[in-house]
Structure 1
Amino acid sequence: MKIPARPLALCLLALAFSALVLGRAQAGGSHYFAPVADPMVKDECGSCHLAFAPSMLPASSWRRMMADLRNHFGDDASLDPAVTTKITEYLVNNAADTGGRRYSDKLLRGVSATNAPLRITELPKWVKEHRKVQDWEWKHKDVRSKANCAACHTGAERGYYED
């Protein structure tokens, strides 16, 4: 049985469109950042806060942050040197400008990879996305910090930051 060309073309077009839509949904769109997959990074970083997706910062930020864990945003987060090295390697290899580039192009737009901030909350795209959040909301007892993504983004641990 031969299928006429026009219906076949429409079926192929519908199939291609569905694949595109489902692909974006599976990847989470522009608000998806592959979550930490390394158990050591999850354990060490996640013991104090959400283990942030490495693709949210460039490699230079992760190197600077990991090189000064004694002064980790007001806390001493020092680790065994071998553990620090392994975590640094994972973060750098999956950073926004290396292995994690697929997820982070929009987040890092306008950010110099060599002089990027250490805080994700200082990235221009993050600031723009959160500009309507009132100061009192950041101080709410369930939020307390701009770094507490999971307070508002319930899928953050799975890499989803859509509202």
Structure 2
Amino acid sequence: MIIAVDVYYEENRAKSVGVIFQRWEDSKPLEVITSYTETPHEYETGFFYKRELPCIQELLKLTDINQIHTLVVDGYVYLDNEQKPGLGHYVYTNYLGEIPVIGVAKNAFHNNEALVRKIYRGSSSKPLYITAVGMELGIAAEHIQSMYGEYRFPHLLKLLDKQTKEAWL
């Protein structure tokens, strides 16, 4: 199975959502899981992962991690051409490098061209920025390119974003 994860912050808590699906071309998720974290780590410039990783770890406790073969994060695996670790890399190392991680970002990051593949979906002239660890970058880009949906942002990732920002319980 594949899981795409995202975290949204509101005041002193975080909502983490995971969309689980079987194949890259799927139009519907198998399951959507949600967890809440009270008083997440404060944001530190350059250390985004410190805030996001604990929330993702809590979320992934709600699934059988042994059934997950790929994890997709909203953001970057590497932050620059020198392989400065981003959120995706920290998620990868947290799971002992056993689960490949694909980073999907909406915006370019400075000094980060060598480890990024731009893909264009639908009729959009704006690319998505794909990074990966644990699998070839070209294959990761092909997976995201093949995802269901006719727009720039794949349907299941758009659903993930919507679920993350929906009203909290």
Q: TM-score, normalised by structure 2?
A: 0.28
Q: Which has the higher strand share?
A: 2
Which structure exhibits the higher relative contact order, with contacts defined as CA atoms closer than 8 Å and separated by 6 or more residues? 1
Structure number having the greater helix percentage: 1
Which entry has the higher C-alpha Rg, 1 or 2? 1
The TM-score, its normalising length taken from structure 1, stands at: 0.29
